[in-house]
């Protein structure tokens, strides 16, 4: 717990508090619910947890629209509940990092309420304000992530304000030294309270282009939303963002064994490099390379082998599911033609074999498929606006199934904030605990193997094969070599081997005459002699 580099190679468990466990019977998860389930988190063998936002918010985007960075929304509990959660986690040797949504605030935030009044108040420049074009239209062509222009008119100032997301999520102006100072104070507040680090929401969107230049077209032939019609060249990824992150890194490193992981949206491995190389940027970052459709083994290999392994070359993080995308057992499972029961252990073994810090989303340890949420039950504004082209994010946000019963052991209320999918309920924790072989036990075993191996936790990464649905790579630490083999096809395949390999983990692979015979949609970890 005192190692400043504890996060390198760590396995972190993402908790979406709203859907984890409800203790007060209102159908919505809360912080006491998280604390009540820490033994489950600890039993997985993970190193810590990432908590999605629990701050005061009008919940128009379910907590990613913060109205007070230093207080807890009553829906989730109180600051005392945060303290109890931190104490309980640390007693179990679990680190805790929390979401920080600093790109934008809620329009209900006191800072914005003051800023919008006129052009001369003390916070007049705390948000991105711009005059209209001579014809009254917005200052440029920037498009918001949830659809429509990234600008909304404010009659009191007779100006537009920028919002990369909902109109109720105005963007902070990080070109203002006062804004930077205020955000650094927020960071100090939570670190002084005992959190071990931050997950920084859309960290590459902090600074906007000072000249407000138009974004160029993307050339996307079939855009789902107007934002896909342009490259977000000027409303994201500005060099001044890295200058602020350097200031933030200095503050975080000054508090000891803390860390920052940045979400780079949509991002790429090149952007991950930029935001993590040297010791003055983010400790680690993840992008959306593995959070979209099945990439194929060739593309996957291309992404993974781009990471240089020097001390100043940065450190990657990897996730294949989170609260913003369909669950991987469904999303990638459909991509390779594998049903969830086959797909879930295959993708989990891939994730836990990668070089980097691993982020596992709640329910992945159970192999949950994405939930089917009917339109009339949707809560996500993105899903409601985009239906039926997109169903939004509710399918991955449904309540965690603890028990195979009507409300899945999540709540005592008659209804949860999102419906319980029966396909998830039958995969509940209580049922899987009783099975000798289950996805839950498989996850625990894989994490234990990773933590026991320097090669898997910290070792180098070497591609052996990536073609025709077969993916093979080695993890190497000094004289240790672990070979990780994956068959993403619907046919049995034979992998040639040399030496005297030993099966470290595989449910069904067989060593035969110098070959490894692998069933369809299966994986194996081998120790090479």
Contact 362, 127 (CB under 8 A): no
Contact 444, 425 (CB under 8 A): no
Q: Are strands 151-154 and 159-162 parallel, antiparallel or unpaired?
A: antiparallel
Name the 3-class secondary structure at 455.
helix
Q: Are strands 502-505 and 522-527 parallel, antiparallel or unpaired?
A: antiparallel
E runs forming strands in 28-110: 48-51, 55-56, 68-72, 95-100
Q: How many CB atoms lie within 10 A of CB 520?
A: 18
**Rounded to whole angstroms, how far apart are CA atoms 373 and 321?**
18
Instruction: Tell me, letter by letter, the H, E, C secondary structure of 333-361.
Output: HHHHCCCHHHHHHHHHHHHCCCCCEEEEE
Adjacent-strand bridge partners of 297: none
Quote the distance between the C-alpha of residue 37 and its chain's center.
20
Q: How many CB atoms lie within 10 A of CB 280?
A: 15
Residue 17 DSSP class: G
Going by C-alpha positions, the residue among 58, 49, 56, 124 that lies closest to residue 88 is 49
Backbone phi and psi for residue 426, each to the nearest 5 degrees, phi listed first? -70, -10
Adjacent-strand bridge partners of 473: 463, 484
**Rounded to whole angstroms, how far apart are CA atoms 159 and 307?**
44
- Write out the DSSP string of 170-224: PBB-TTSHHHHHHHHHHHHHHHHHT--EEEETTGGGS---TT-PPPPB---SS-S
Name the 3-class secondary structure at 493.
strand
**Catalytic residue IDs:** 201, 263
- Alpha helix segments (H runs only) across 409-512: 422-425, 429-434, 439-452, 454-458
């Amino acid at each position: 717990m005192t190692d400043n580099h504890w996060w390198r190679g760590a396995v972190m468990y993402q908790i979406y508090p709203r859907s984890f466990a409800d203790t007060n019977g209102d159908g919505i998860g809360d912080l006491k619910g998280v604390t009540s389930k820490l033994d489950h988190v600890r039993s997985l063998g993970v190193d810590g947890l990432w908590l999605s936002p629990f701050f005061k918010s009008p919940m128009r985007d379910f907590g990613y629209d913060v109205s007070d960075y230093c207080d807890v929304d009553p829906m989730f509990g109180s600051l005392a509940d945060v303290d109890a959660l931190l104490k309980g986690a640390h007693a179990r040797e679990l680190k805790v990092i929390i979401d920080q949504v600093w790109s934008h605030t809620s329009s209900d935030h006191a800072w914005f309420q003051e800023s919008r009044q006129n052009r001369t108040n003390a916070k007049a420049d705390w948000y991105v304000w711009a005059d209209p074009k001579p014809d009254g239209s917005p200052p440029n062509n920037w498009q918001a992530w949830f659809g429509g222009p990234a600008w909304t008119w404010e009659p009191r100032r007779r100006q537009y304000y920028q919002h990369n997301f909902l109109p109720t999520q105005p963007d902070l102006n990080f070109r203002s030294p006062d804004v930077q100072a205020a955000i650094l104070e927020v960071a100090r507040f939570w670190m002084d309270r005992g959190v071990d680090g931050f997950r920084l929401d859309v960290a590459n969107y902090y600074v906007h282009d000072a000249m407000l230049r138009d974004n160029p077209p993307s050339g996307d032939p079939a855009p789902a939303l107007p934002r896909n019609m342009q490259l977000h060249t000027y409303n994201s990824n500005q060099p001044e963002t890295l200058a602020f992150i350097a200031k933030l890194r200095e503050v975080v490193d000054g508090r000891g064994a803390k860390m920052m992981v940045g979400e780079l949206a949509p991002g790429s491995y090149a952007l991950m490099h930029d935001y993590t190389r040297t010791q003055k940027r983010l400790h680690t970052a993840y992008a959306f390379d593995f959070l979209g459709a099945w990439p194929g083994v060739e593309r996957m290999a291309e992404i993974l082998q781009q990471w240089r392994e020097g001390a100043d070359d940065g450190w990657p993080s990897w996730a294949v599911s989170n609260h913003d995308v369909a669950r991987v057992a469904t999303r990638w499972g459909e991509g390779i033609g594998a049903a969830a029961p086959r797909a879930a252990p295959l993708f989990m073994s891939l994730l836990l074999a990668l070089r980097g810090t691993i982020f596992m989303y709640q329910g992945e340890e159970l192999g949950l498929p994405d939930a089917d949420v009917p339109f009339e039950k949707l809560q996500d504004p993105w899903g409601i606006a985009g239906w039926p082209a997109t169903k939004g994010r509710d399918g991955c946000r449904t309540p965690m199934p603890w028990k195979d019963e009507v409300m899945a052991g999540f709540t005592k209320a008659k209804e949860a904030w999102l419906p319980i999918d029966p396909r998830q309920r039958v995969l509940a924790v209580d049922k899987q605990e009783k099975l000798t072989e289950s996805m839950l036990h498989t996850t625990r075993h894989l994490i234990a193997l990773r933590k026991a191996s320097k090669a898997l936790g910290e070792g180098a990464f070497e591609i052996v094969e990536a073609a025709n649905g077969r993916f093979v790579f080695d993890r190497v630490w000094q004289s240790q070599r672990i070979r990780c083999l994956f068959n993403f096809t619907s046919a049995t395949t034979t992998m040639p081997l040399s030496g005297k390999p030993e099966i470290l983990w595989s449910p069904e692979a067989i060593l035969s005459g110098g070959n490894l015979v692998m069933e369809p949609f299966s994986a194996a970890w081998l120790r090479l002699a």
